[in-house]
Amino acid sequence: MNTIDGLEDSGSGESTSEATNSSLDSQLNDVQTALTEKTEEWKAANDKYLRLAAEFENYKRVAQREQRDQIKFGNEQLLKELLPAVDNMERAIKAAQENNAADSALTQGVDLTLKQLSGTLGKFGVHEIETAGQAFDPASHQAVSHMPSDTVPRDYVIEEYQKGYRLHDRILRAAMVSVSAGPAQTTEQDSETH
């Protein structure tokens, strides 16, 4: 009986051992599944964090650029409003020169005021747009007439009617100009009549 009892004990030990192993395998699978799920959750959260961090860096760059532009161009409207005063002073000086009154004290005062105002505008980044002898640039020139010219090449500025100005790298006001259409075209009929 002892032998049988011993066999029975060892047999029940094996079944208990198998049950314990099965239970441990089940728990191990559960732990591995939970670990895999948590790893996937961590990866998703990390990806979300990286995207959010990149978006925040982009936002900071945009905000800094907008702040620099606000500082650089914040007074743009005020400067635009001053340009007609500059134009009027230039016209007054030109009219005085045409009437041979360029040496008068009033003309000299207006000229000094104009120079001072132009210098102040320059300190704030306002500069004249070059036009004379330049190729026509639709971004900085406004063509008000197109006329033939034997001396000025086609699509070059012939005459400036109103000065244009830049504020740093931005057009504050386009220059009003006359553009060359090239040499005057003579037709065969015109040359036969001459």
pLDDT tens by residue, 132-177: 888 898 889 999 988 888 888 888 999 899 999 999 888 999 999 9
**Contact, 93 vs 106, CB < 8 A?**
no
Distance (Å, whole) CA 176 – CA 127: 15
Q: In what order do the strands lie in the sheet with 126-128?
A: 126-128, 165-167, 170-173
**Contact, 136 vs 158, CB < 8 A?**
no
Q: Tell if the pTM clears 0.85, that is, is over it.
A: no
Task: Return the pLDDT at 24.
Answer: 84
Task: Return the pLDDT at 57.
Answer: 94
Task: Return the pLDDT at 2.
Answer: 47
pLDDT < 50: residue spans in the chain? 1-11, 187-194
Burial 50-80 (b: 16+ CB within 10 A, else e): eeeeeeeeeeeeeeeeeeeeeeebeebeebe
